[in-house]
């Protein structure tokens, strides 16, 4: 089985789109990540794992001193997502561009799994003719591997 046989349609977000909208997309469809594209190219620019977004709702001072998470009250914690107001997807990406978890359309399951494992990404974007063809999630990959 090749990557193009395995991939599926997946929500794609523009790099300068609203961060809160992206979070809603992740939450409503229970996704474990999003593929990010730019205005100028149809190729994937980055993959934003949900865990990276979760990190963004944690205040910086709590990341520096994890003990402070417990002193905050329930109401303070419930408003954690407000930190994302006015931010864009670009703000949530690492400052230095990372390797993109990308597979070619004719890659095998092992090749896709290798990219996923090496980059610790919950999903891999499949590219054909320089354009995003679809996305393979970890669960989809494992299901395919079991069938074989």
Partner 1 sequence: MNLFHAIYAATVFVVAYALITTERFNKTMVALAGATLMFFLPVVNSHEVFYSEDTGIDWDVIFLLLGMMIIVSVVRQTGVFEYIAIWAAKRSKGSPLRIMILLILVTAVGSAFLDNVTTVLLIAPVTLLVCERLAVSSAPFLIGEAFAANIGGAATLVGDPTSIIIGTGAHLSFISFITNMGPAVLMVLAVLLLLLPRLFPGAFNVDPERVADVMALDESEAISDRKLLIQCGVVLLVVFAGFVAHKEIHMEPSLVAMAGAGILVLISGLDREFYLSSVEWETLLFFAGLFIMVGALVRTGVINNLAHAASHATRGNEWVTVMLILGVSFLFSGFVNNVPYAATMTPIVGQFIPTIHGHASSDVLWWALILGTVLGGNLTAVGASANVVVVGIAQRSGSPVSFWDFTKRGAVVTAISFVISLGYLWVRYFVLT
Q: Are 11 and 24 in contact (CB under 8 A)?
A: no
Give me the DSSP letters along 53-109: HHHHTS-HHHHH-GGGGGGS-HHHHHTGGGGGTT-BHHHHS-SSPPPP-EEETT-BH
Nearer Cβ to partner 1, position 50 or 57? 57
Q: CB of residue 139 vs partner 1: minimum separation in angstroms? A: 33
Q: Are 33 and 48 in contact (CB under 8 A)?
A: yes
Q: CB of residue 71 vs partner 1: minimum separation in angstroms? A: 5
Stretch that binds partner 1, among 16-24, 65-73, 98-106, 132-140 (CB under 8 A): 65-73
Among 30, 39, 40, 67, which residue sits at the site for partner 1 (rule: CB under 8 A)? 67
Stretch that binds partner 1, among 39-47, 60-68, 122-130, 133-141 (CB under 8 A): 60-68
Please name every residue paired with 35 in a beta bridge, in sequence order, or none if there are none.
Answer: 12, 47
**If binding means CB under 8 A, how many residues of this protein chain bind partner 1?**
14
Binding mask 75-94 for partner 1 (x = CB under 8 A): xx------------------
Residue 75, C-beta contacts closer than 8 angstroms, at least 6 positions apart: none
Stretch that binds partner 1, among 2-10, 16-24, 47-55, 58-66 (CB under 8 A): 58-66
User: What element of type H or E holds 148?
Assistant: none
Residue ranges in contact with partner 1 by CB under 8 A: 59-62, 64-65, 67-68, 70-73, 75-76
């Amino acid at each position: 089985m090749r990557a193009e046989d395995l991939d599926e349609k997946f929500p794609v977000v523009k790099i300068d789109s609203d961060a809160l909208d992206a979070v809603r997309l992740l939450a409503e469809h229970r996704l474990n990540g999003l593929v990010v594209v730019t205005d100028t190219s149809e190729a994937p620019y980055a993959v934003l794992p949900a865990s990276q977004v979760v990190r963004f709702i944690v205040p910086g001072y709590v990341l520096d001193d994890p003990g402070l998470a417990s002193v905050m009250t329930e109401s303070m914690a419930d408003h954690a997502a407000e930190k994302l107001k006015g931010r864009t997807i670009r703000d949530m990406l690492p400052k230095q561009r990372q390797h993109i978890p990308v597979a070619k359309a004719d890659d095998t399951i092992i090749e896709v799994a290798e990219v996923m494992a090496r980059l610790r990404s919950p999903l891999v974007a499949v590219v054909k003719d320089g354009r995003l063809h679809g996305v393979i999630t970890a669960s989809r990959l494992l299901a395919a591997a079991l069938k074989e």
